[in-house]
Amino acid sequence: MKSPIAVVVLAAGAGTRMKSALPKVLHPLAGWPMVRHVLENVARLRPTRIVGVVAPGAKSVAAAFAPHPTVVQSKPLGTGHATKAALGALEGHRGPVLVVFGDAPLVTTESMRRLLTACARAKAAVGVLGFRAADPTPYGRLIMKGGELERIVESKDTVGAERDVDFCNSGVMCLDGRLLAKLLGGIGNKNVKREYYLVDAVAVARSLGHRAIAVEGEEAEFQGINSRAELAAAEAALQVRLRLAALEAGVTMTDPSTVWLAADTKLGNDVTIGPNVRFGPGVTVASNVEIRAFCDIEGGRIGRGAIVGPFARIRPGSEVAEDVHIGNFVELKATKMRRGAKANHFAYLGDTDVGAGSNVGAGTIAVNYDGYGKHRTVIGPEAFVGSNSSLIAPVTIGRGANVTAGSVITEDVPAGAIAFGRARQVTKKGRAAALRAKLAARAAAAKRAQKKK
């Protein structure tokens, strides 16, 4: 692996079985398009070039490869034809060329590195990642002889003892860059589909007197995604990986199977996560945080010692500082909760800055949208906002101010002030019995009228 590595990612497949207007490789997996997982995995190999092969007009897929270049496979004529389309982008490259699929996001960097290392040691022209399949029926078989790869036989073409072979082709291949044009040029299309199959590079290499090898990996890595059911299976497999990595890194999960992580979720030491918690993309959680059951967190940062939930929602752009408490049925959107601030019950804080040590009472709403634009609410340090208050943005509550419960605040409240924003209470002594009698008579009359109809 001393030679520079180039990677070709095949992403021109139509994905018709997905039955979707969204290109197959852009379907999300743990919060990322599946092709991004592939790109992230190959990037850890530090290749000098990554080239994507896309279908004509697939602008959204090409954009997903940025800043890496893409080339277009003019017609869907097989994997060999798709790889050949990348030759121009690989001009001058003399090192190994790794070919992977954009719809195979579970193949690990470690497995790809083992393949590259084995090819370098064996001085092989072609190397293939294979796996032992529990049911080899759908897969091409890797036929080995004398410790080397003799040929790859497609499932439908197997005969006799070949059908019993359980060593199967993953599709991930390593090709000698110095021989790449010759290997691809030697692939023919004498088959039922009249397509050029990359697996035939094995036979081409051997016919030219070069070596071909296979390296074994785990079957779980090589499940491709061609349908919604397979997408769901890949999501489940990836979540198991992500959960295990988090547990090994010092995170406690009450019920790991119900915690859903994004590929980029960052969790500190001694984080405790209750059941039924979902992390969307872009979440960072510091150490000693407790996230209680049924929380939904996306695009936010949570500081050390914070307590979140249960049943809390934190939306993108929010920052929860150290020792903040976010309680049940509290929603944050683009909101900053400064150190030690609290919103313990039933509140919506959108586009809000809550100062250190402030308390936001139950039922408080930061009214941030006027039908045309979003506006910010600023609550200073050590302020108190009483329950069932509406803060009509843009508005500022000063340091140490007190907003009484049930207030509608439309103007700034100075530091240290008390603000009342509600109608004055009226009490009529001794009138409750008369009111109840009146209401009962009205209800009885309505019931009699209903019976006459």
Q: Which of 27, 81, 210, 345 is catalytic?
A: 345
Burial of 136 (0-12, 13-18, 19+ CB in 10 A): buried
Enter the tokens of residue 46. Answer: 């530090």
Residue 177 has what DSSP assignment? T
CB 45 within 8 A of CB 137: no
CA distance 339 to 249: 26
Contacts 24+ apart (CB under 8 A), 82-87: 82/10, 82/12, 82/53, 82/198, 83/8, 83/10, 83/53, 83/184, 83/198, 84/184, 84/185, 84/196, 85/53, 86/8, 86/51, 86/53, 87/180, 87/181, 87/184
CA distance 26 to 390: 41
One-letter amino acid of 415:
A
Q: What's phi and psi for 164, nearest 5 deg? A: -85, -10
Q: To which residue do tokens 């072609």 refer?
A: 126
CA distance 247 to 258: 14
The DSSP bridge pattern shows strands 141-145 and 148-153 to be antiparallel
* 68 belongs to the catalytic site: no
The tally of CA atoms less than 13 A away on the side-chain side of residue 161 is 2
How far is the CA of 359 from the CAs of 189, 247, 275, 325, 416, in angstroms?
Answer: 72, 34, 27, 10, 14
Residues forming the active site: 345
